[in-house]
């Protein structure tokens, strides 16, 4: 179904979708694309000015007005996430989708030398905060007719590799969350949990991980958007516990 998927300006019409890390890279492309498909996008991220730039671009394009939710996932408490959920409930009553996209790379170092503080920071942003935010938002997602949660993994999430340290472990954890949440919600609702591996994509994170690489040899965030829209859309209702791999083989 995915291979043939082409989105239109109505693919996500009237949906309310939260995107984390919406200010840059793949998250920015997803926010703009979701708005282009008719969704009201809630832009969550760390750097306010980047979120404002995405908000302005959505406005300039005449798309459904977005909302900015500044939150540092490194430091945000569970209470703050629950407060955020109450705010969304008050404003919109429900939530149709969450794209967990924000992440940090941490260090590319042998585990033997990996700084424990960096380890905790990476696990917090890439895994613990993902769990806490998902748990906070589930009641709102259940209130939607067809709620969709998308986690973001990496090739090292499926196959951990030397030097990828906490990043690889955090992405393994996110793949595990996809399986566990899926099994635990199976019968009860239309709510679904899936995961995307974007594969090598032209962003700042990729450039940090592979400084010697020519970015122009890589696919752009825009090129992988069909997978991102598909899993959010009603075309994927009933699609549960899947990992869509956008890495060209």
| Of the candidates 183, 182, 194, 180, the residue with the CA atom closest to the CA atom of residue 230 | 194
Sign of CA dihedral 77, 78, 83, 87: positive
Place of tokens 């939607």: 144
Alpha carbons 224 and 16: distance in angstroms, whole number: 21
**Cα–Cα distance list, 206 to 21, 195, 211, 215 (Å):** 15, 19, 8, 8
Q: Annotated catalytic, 167?
A: yes
Alpha carbons 51 and 44: distance in angstroms, whole number: 8
Instruction: Kindly tell me which of 102 and 227 has the beta carbon lying closer to ligand NDP.
Output: 102
Q: In degrees to the nearest 10, what's the CA dihedral of 207, 213, 218, 221?
A: 0
What letter would DSSP give residue 196? E
The least CB distance from residue 14 to ligand NDP, in Å, is: 26
Question: Contacting ligand NDP (CB under 6 A), which of 198, 225, 231, 232?
Answer: 198
Q: Sketch the per residue contact string, 116 through 155, with ligand NDP: x for CB under 6 A, - otherwise.
A: ---------x--------------------------x-x-
Strand partners, 193: 149
Exactly one of 167, 216, 228, 230 is catalytic; name it: 167
Q: Sketch the per residue contact string, 154 through 193, with ligand NDP: x for CB under 6 A, - otherwise.
A: x---------------------------------------
**Cα–Cα distance list, 7 to 17, 24, 58, 65, 211 (Å):** 16, 22, 18, 20, 33
The least CB distance from residue 49 to ligand NDP, in Å, is: 9
Q: Sketch the per residue contact string, 63 through 82, with ligand NDP: x for CB under 6 A, - otherwise.
A: ---------xxx--------
The least CB distance from residue 162 to ligand NDP, in Å, is: 17
The least CB distance from residue 248 to ligand NDP, in Å, is: 12
DSSP H or E stretch at residue 68: strand 67-70
The least CB distance from residue 35 to ligand NDP, in Å, is: 16
Q: Does 21 bind ligand NDP (CB under 6 A)?
A: yes
Q: Does 194 bind ligand NDP (CB under 6 A)?
A: no
Q: Does 102 bind ligand NDP (CB under 6 A)?
A: yes
Hey, which residues are catalytic here? 167
Residues of the shown chain interacting with ligand NDP in the complex, contacts defined by CB under 6 A: 21, 23-27, 45-47, 50, 72-74, 101-104, 125, 152, 154, 198-201, 203-206
């Amino acid at each position: 179904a995915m291979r043939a998927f082409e989105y239109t300006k109505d693919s996500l019409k009237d949906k309310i979708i939260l995107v984390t890390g919406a200010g840059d890279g793949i998250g920015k492309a997803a926010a703009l694309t979701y708005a282009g498909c008719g969704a009201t996008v809630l832009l969550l991220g760390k750097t306010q000015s980047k979120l404002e730039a995405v908000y302005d671009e959505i406005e300039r394009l005449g798309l459904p007005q977005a909302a900015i939710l500044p939150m540092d996932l490194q430091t945000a408490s569970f209470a703050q996430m629950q407060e955020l959920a109450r705010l969304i409930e008050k404003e919109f009553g429900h939530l149709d989708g969450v794209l967990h996209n924000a992440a940090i790379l941490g260090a590319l170092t042998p585990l033997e030398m990996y700084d424990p503080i960096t380890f905790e920071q990476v696990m917090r942003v890439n895994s613990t905060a993902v769990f806490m935010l998902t748990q906070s938002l589930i009641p709102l997602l259940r209130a939607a007719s067809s709620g969709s949660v998308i986690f973001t993994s990496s090739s090292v999430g499926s196959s951990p590799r030397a030097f990828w340290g906490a990043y690889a472990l955090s992405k393994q954890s996110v793949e595990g969350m996809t399986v566990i949440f899926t099994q635990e919600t199976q019968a009860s609702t239309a709510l679904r949990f899936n995961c995307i591996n974007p594969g090598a994509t032209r962003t700042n994170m990729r450039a940090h991980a592979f400084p010697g690489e020519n970015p122009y040899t890589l696919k752009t965030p825009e090129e992988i958007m069909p997978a991102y829209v598909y899993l959010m859309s009603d075309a994927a209702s009933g699609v549960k516990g899947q990992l869509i791999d956008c890495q060209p083989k």
